[in-house]
Chains A and B, each alone.
Chain A
Amino acid sequence: MGYTPHVMVLGGGVTGTAIARDLAIRGLDVTLVERGRLTDGATGRMQGLLYSGARYADTSQPVAAKCYDENRTLAEIADHCVEETGGLLVPTDADEATVESIVEACEDCDIPAEALTGEEARSMEPALDEGVEGAVRVPDATVDPFRLTVATAKSATEFGAEIRTHTEVTDIHVEDGAVTAVTVERDPEPTGRPHPEDSEGATADSTSPDGDDPDTVPDGGKQVPGASGGPGAVPPGETDMPGMPGTTGEERPSRPTAGTERLEPDYVVNATGAWADEVAGLAGFSFPMHRSRGAMVITEDQPVGMPVSLGATPGPVRTVVPHGQHAVVGATNDPVADPDDLDGDGDDADRLLADLTGVVPALDDSRLLRTFWGVRSGPPRGDGEGRRFALVDHADRDGCWGMTTVVGGTLTIHRLVAERVADHVCGTFGISRECKTDELPLPGSEDQEVLDAVMDTFGLSSPVYDRTRERLGSRTPEVLDTDGPNPVLCEAESVTRAEVRDALDDATGGAVDLNDVRIRTSATMGACQGGRCAHRIAAELHPEYELGVIEDALDDLLAERWKGQRHALWGDQLAQAARNYDFHASTLGRKYRFEVAEREDSDGIALDGFDDGPVTGGADQPVGWGMRR
């Protein structure tokens, strides 16, 4: 029979989107829900280092070998997200024996590694301190986790998956030993952007024009596959398949409250990372998890040309990872209980730098743009902490059919984790399709050569074009091919108006906001941290969105930028913050908004009593001239 299972994936990090992609490629109906934006959890808060596996080579061979395999695979399928920089490991005791033993361990795992003297290491990476006596060159690479996730999500939708952001799981229903339904609640006013139905996701012809009215949402144009009557719904007569959960075509839930919706998937994959236990708790399941937080800082300059790691064995490793024109320095490692409460204080930045300046002295003078905290999570501690992952099938563990939770994993091996999950889900349904995610390239990574031919086609000076191409890969021509001028909106990151508009149009699931645009384009992520360019990005929302929505979106973007920088404000970055404050408070008049207070009078604010100008104003005017009211 033409039965297509509908799988709901919870979590829009790199792992969740990769699971959605894998399952969609194998032909399943997939709906992914994410409570915030894509990458909002751990994915968006990491160093962007694609491990070579070398650092586990001596303690955990299989993990190391898998790491390297995946490192190679990602470089193939996502070459516009990955930069093959190579990297250096600087052991804490960099004597010859330590260096050699790491190299030997790498050889055992088929990871190409090379022992370097201090001299050789410095000729490769001049930023290294004179005191460094030896290092190992390893095939580390850097990866942009934002673009990787967005490209993965885009691919998933191209294969038919539906991705809904700003949609939170509020309940997981269990009946008779099976997961039967998931209640989701969509943020009624996702920051800076109206409802998803307004843009994409819904079919254009069936979308209610009143998408802003929450009451029209659940039964509007969009049908959820597998939910009652939708395109992927279970045909009548198959609802009582033995061993299958009771997805019934007839059963209609009572009309949901505004913004909530009850979905009835055939299977649920919980890929919510550090929130996995909390989400599984909605179904009444519990299991132990390990969680820790890590502080990272972003420097304005790029002190190193390749990732430099201090300390080569598992444990506290500090790394400087170059990204574009910046570098991400990380990470501290402190246990944390609540993944929603990660932020520490300015001391964390001081701590990080204290260790690393011994290896990369230039860091001492680096201007720090931002401090941020990420979360690691995984199965309870053992060896290889944080590098392991586990699939928890709640049928086995809790005697409840229909849901598997994935715990742990890393960015480097996320595709492999997704493959395992997809294998497991397909196995559950007796589907034997092969995984293709290791060979199908992600959107944007094809045809790099073609790009070189069209360099000057779009009226951009070449550094701007180069930066754009680094981000968009083979999609560059399509995005930049616009009518009319295409000025640069964010100078520091070379982001043009066309790219911002593309990011707004291309929001997976529809519910984007300006932080989503930032994630896709890097706009506002340079030295000014949005102070000079955020209002330009926000202006692109006009006239599609209401004035209040645009203003709120701008405030939210600036608030997010401020949150990250305020813990490391001194030197040049405090000077920049002071100029930003002046610009917004004085020149733009954005600190106080007296106009809001005065608007109760529908004729507008009262101008009497203010200076109306030297010559032309008020009394000198013929009555009625220019005054329609």
Chain B
Amino acid sequence: MTDDVVVVGGGIEGYVAALTAALEEPVADVRLLVRDDGRFCHEPGWIDLLGYPPADGDSAGDDDAGPVREPLQEPFAALSDLPADHPYSRAGVEEVRRALSLFEELSGYEGLDSDANALVATATGAVTPTFLYPDSVASGLASDGRETLLVGFERIVDFDAALAAAKLDEFLPYDVGHTTIELDVEVGGAEPAKRFAEVFDDNEELDGELPARRAVAGKIRNELDIEPRIGFPAVLGRSAAEDVRSDLEAILQADVFEVPLGPPSMPGLRLADRLRSELDDAGVAVETGVTVTDVGTADDRIASVEVAGGSAEGDDLRERYEGEQFVLATGGLGAGGLRADRERIREPAFGCHVTQPADRADWVAEGFLDDQPFARAGLAVDDEFRPLDADDTPEFGNLRATGRVLGGADVAAEQSTGGVAVVTGYAAGQLAAEW
């Protein structure tokens, strides 16, 4: 059997590419090959568009540049200044808008009504610009000037509410208070964030007495002054997160929001769940637990991919998927979509050419948070998002690359990770559906 579009890779860009193709061309057979939901564990849940003017990639060790930069207020206005090989430039400004608006619809996120960036508080008490955000973040925007109470849980160690509040209080023009509470949650060997989310989803009784949501509210009640909003570490449920928040809001009579943490990120996993149900509704066939092991080619085109794995039966499963159009959405170095040995950074699924510094010693900068050359390594593409070989000709006529596997931008530094995933996933999905 031959699919019309085969998307390889299960991050935001892969989900968006598959959804876009399926929605664009409802009769098309679209298949999405996913290794696991691990990539969403690393997603903060919000979608950056462009937080800072792009780094030039050369500022490592440049004392003049320094770490102090002003975030962009109007990200759209800055898009036209981006270099030609930036993924947004490949897509075009209008495509950026259309992509975000489709994503807003699919995800239920907020933020597109205003063309401006929002500022959000981070778990370590910094403030960072973002663009689209889930409901669970909406009432907590740092750029919304209302007083805030931050609540920490002793066992959720990624978020020290007292420290974060002290830092935020110092430079935000309103008061940020804090309290840290102990919840008697038996974590055992589980990941604390997942265990807490479960406790809130199921509203488990704590200490054999109060249900979790009431117990938390009870412990905060006395600490709450006149603050109209309360921020928690992002562990307030996964499947029933909306109920958890609205229960807490009803008891506490204040808005409740979350501060994203490191993996496993509940807002990231909720986004995965949401997009996954959209994929099901759109009729996309999703294969989970699979990795591409071989690629069949004919006449400079991809004919098929062979995968190994299998979600339930163990890893002996091998399957070959033939397709007309393929989308590469396997992510960057962090996700395994790019992989380095001692000599080169490679793209392991299709063997595409990777633009990178020639010498391994030049992959990394001297300081951890300097502009990292490895973050800019990736595939160069043409205007149809087809990966280019070393001579700038398309590797394959029917393969498009999206998201973090692309080079040409340090998306973590410029705060465009989610936006680049959404926009390039959308563009590739459209092009693949048009074939």
Interface residues of A (CB under 8 A from B): 345-346, 350, 461, 484-485, 487-489, 497, 532, 535-536, 539, 542-543, 547, 550, 558-559, 561-562, 566-567, 569-571, 574-599, 603-607, 609-618, 621, 625-629
Q: How far is the CB of A565 from chain B (nearest CB, A)?
A: 9
* Contact present for A582 and B141 (CB under 8 Å): no
Of the candidates B143, B163, B336, B368, which one forms a contact with A550 in the assembled complex, judged by CB atoms under 8 Å apart?
B163
Of the candidates B70, B124, B255, B413, which one forms a contact with A585 in the assembled complex, judged by CB atoms under 8 Å apart?
B413
Q: Specify which chain B residues have a CB less than 8 angstroms from the CB of A625 in the assembled complex.
A: 146, 228
Give Cα A559 to B67, complex, Å: 15
Q: How far is the CB of B246 from chain A (nearest CB, A)?
A: 14
B432 at the A/B interface (Cβ < 8 Å)?
no
8 shortest interchain CB distances as A-B pairs: A589-B128, A610-B143, A604-B173, A611-B118, A539-B160, A578-B333, A578-B334, A562-B368
Of the candidates B110, B173, B261, B335, which one forms a contact with A605 in the assembled complex, judged by CB atoms under 8 Å apart?
B173
Q: Specify which chain A residues have a CB less than 8 angstroms from the CB of B78 in the assembled complex.
A: none
Q: Specify which chain B residues have a CB less than 8 angstroms from the CB of A550 in the assembled complex.
A: 163
* Contact present for B52 and A592 (CB under 8 Å): yes
* Contact present for B340 and A607 (CB under 8 Å): no
Give Cα A539 to B178, complex, Å: 14
What 0/1 readout, one digit per residue, does chain B (108-121) give for beta carbons within 8 Å of chain A? 00110110111100
Of the candidates B117, B226, B413, which one forms a contact with A591 in the assembled complex, judged by CB atoms under 8 Å apart?
B413
A-B contact pairs, 25 of them (CB 8 A): A484-B182, A536-B157, A543-B163, A547-B166, A570-B340, A570-B341, A575-B336, A576-B334, A581-B368, A582-B417, A587-B262, A588-B122, A590-B369, A593-B67, A603-B173, A605-B173, A607-B142, A607-B144, A609-B73, A609-B116, A610-B129, A612-B141, A617-B141, A617-B143, A617-B146
* Contact present for B73 and A604 (CB under 8 Å): no
* Contact present for B117 and A611 (CB under 8 Å): yes
* Contact present for B189 and A575 (CB under 8 Å): no
Q: Name the interface size band of chain B.
A: 35 or more
Q: How far is the CB of A294 from chain B (nearest CB, A)?
A: 20
Q: How far is the CB of B58 from chain A (nearest CB, A)?
A: 16
Contacts A570-B341, A571-B340 known; list 12 others, CB within 8 Å: A535-B123, A574-B340, A575-B334, A577-B374, A578-B332, A582-B334, A592-B68, A594-B71, A611-B141, A612-B118, A618-B145, A628-B147
Give Cα A487 to B156, complex, Å: 8
Q: Across the two chains, which residue of chain A brings its CB closest to B189?
A: A461
Instruction: Pick from B156, B363, B364 the residue with the most CB of A within 10 Å.
Output: B364
Q: Specify which chain A residues have a CB less than 8 angstroms from the CB of B199 in the assembled complex.
A: none
B203 at the A/B interface (Cβ < 8 Å)?
no
Of the candidates A575, A596, A613, A626, which one forms a contact with B333 in the assembled complex, judged by CB atoms under 8 Å apart?
A575
Q: Across the two chains, which residue of chain A brings its CB closest to B43?
A: A587
Q: Specify which chain B residues have a CB less than 8 angstroms from the CB of A581 in the assembled complex.
A: 368-369, 372, 375, 412
Q: Across the two chains, which residue of chain B brings its CB closest to A597?
A: B68
Q: Specify which chain A residues have a CB less than 8 angstroms from the CB of B372 in the assembled complex.
A: 578, 581
Of the candidates B48, B69, B155, B342, which one forms a contact with A485 in the assembled complex, judged by CB atoms under 8 Å apart?
B155
Q: How far is the CB of A614 from chain B (nearest CB, A)?
A: 4
* Contact present for A621 and B42 (CB under 8 Å): no
* Contact present for A570 and B360 (CB under 8 Å): yes
* Contact present for B146 and A616 (CB under 8 Å): yes
What 0/1 readout, one digit per residue, does chain B (58-88) give for beta carbons within 8 Å of chain A? 0000000001111101100000000000000
Q: In residues 338-377 of chain B, which contact A (Cβ within 8 Å)? A: 339-342, 360-361, 363-364, 366-369, 372, 374-375
